[in-house]
Amino acid sequence: MRLLLLPLVLLCLLTACSKPAPAPEPVRAVRTVTVQAGSANLLHEYPAEVRARAESRPAFRVGGKLVRRLVNVGDAVRAGQALAEIDPGDLRLGQDAARAQLAAAQAQLAFAEAEFKRYATLREQGFISGVELERRDAGLQSSRSQAAQAIAQARLQTNQAGYAMLTAEVAGIVTAVDAEPGTVLSAGAPVLRLAHDGPRDAVFSVPEDRASAMRAALGKPGAVQLKPWGGIATTPATVREVAAAADPVTRTFLVRADIGRTDLRLGQTATVLVATPPVPGVIKLPLTAVFAQGGQTSVWLVDRTAMTVRPQPITVAGADGNLVVVAGGLQPGQAVVTAGVHTLTPGQAVRWYVEPGAAAAPASSAAPAAPAASR
């Protein structure tokens, strides 16, 4: 009897030590959409900045030490308003010197004119020769030229003394400051940056493959739309300038679009919307159908025969609202999973999703035919 019980005990021990069989992977219900070709209006969005059509960097025409700056960043200035001042001491000394030279030249001219009149009288009476009178006439002409030069120099020094005060030539807004009081400036060194009041531009950058499209839109009113940050309404704009060369760092092309006179603030952020003509024969999928795998954009395809899924790399051309425009990788009639794509694995068994209350679909049924219908 003991010999019969021993094999039974050993069998029980072996059964208790063995690992349980893994549970079968559940068949997951998936929502799908049938791939169909249609048309799409691609909408490209670019971040933009509102800038003035014209900007200048006011600078002193003469060198000197900056003693006062009368405006700050963000200040609105009017034409003729004082912006900054340099030390006028040296300029006034130069003006005084020029005035003294002018007085000396005028005195010399008066003496030369009186002397010429005396020698002309002596020549009429025959006391001097004609050569001597010509010599006096040459001296008179030289004195007149020196007087004219002194007048011009005096005017120049007067103008330079006036250049000690920098004024705004046009109305605008100060957008930056380049010099502070105490700085010794050379002639032409910028003191600040002034955005001119008037028409404004939306400035943005586009990649190299979009530069030709921007050039084709040059001068066409409403070719692009501007949407302020946080706003809903859009403003039509006209592309007026496209950079001839790409930026050496970003490899993008700078574009300026005219938005005319607007209430948008300088430096305000906005979005430029560029719509492309309808493209026929494209495939559109919901954003939820797309995922990244191995550095590629992919979707899950359903094998209707085996009812399993496999990843399929695709090429994305852009977006059309909440849909992804697929440029390659799919064929019409294929079934693409549109929900729960991050929970699937290659070769996983699936079944068609059935809405609660709807009749169950047979296992051999095909994916829905309409692109908007999903399971």
Residues of the chain with CATH 2.40.420.20: 28-40+279-352
Q: Is the dihedral of CA 63, 66, 68, 69 positive or negative?
A: positive
For domain 28-40+279-352, give the fold.
Answer: 2.40.420
State pLDDT tens for residues 258-299: 988 887 888 888 999 888 776 666 788 888 899 988 788 999
For domain 61-85+167-195, give the fold.
Answer: OB fold (Dihydrolipoamide Acetyltransferase, E2P) (2.40.50)
Residue 235: the pLDDT is 86
State pLDDT tens for residues 142-197: 999 999 999 999 898 888 888 899 999 989 889 899 999 999 999 999 999 998 88
∠ Cα 236 241 247 (to 5°): 120
Residues of the chain with CATH 2.40.30.170: 45-53+199-275
Mean pLDDT of 295-316: 90
Residues of the chain with CATH 2.40.50.100: 61-85+167-195
- Reduced 3-state DSSP string for 10-27: HHHHHHHHCCCCCCCCCC
Residue 223: the pLDDT is 87
d(CA 299, CA 340): 11
Tell me yes or no: is domain 89-162 CATH 1.10.3470.
no
pTM score of the predicted model:
0.56
Mean pLDDT of 60-79: 91
Residues of the chain with CATH 1.10.287: 89-162
| CATH no., domain 45-53+199-275 | 2.40.30.170
Better-scored residue on pLDDT, 354 or 107:
107
| Mean pLDDT over each residue of the chain, to the nearest integer | 83
d(CA 47, CA 205): 8
Residue 8: the pLDDT is 58
Torsion angles phi and psi, residue 129, rounded to 5 = -85, 165
**Beta-strand pair 350-352/28-30:** parallel
For the chain, how many residues are written? 375
State pLDDT tens for residues 318-344: 777 678 888 888 888 899 999 888 888
State pLDDT tens for residues 10-19: 555 555 555 5
Better-scored residue on pLDDT, 37 or 254:
254
Residue 189: the pLDDT is 92
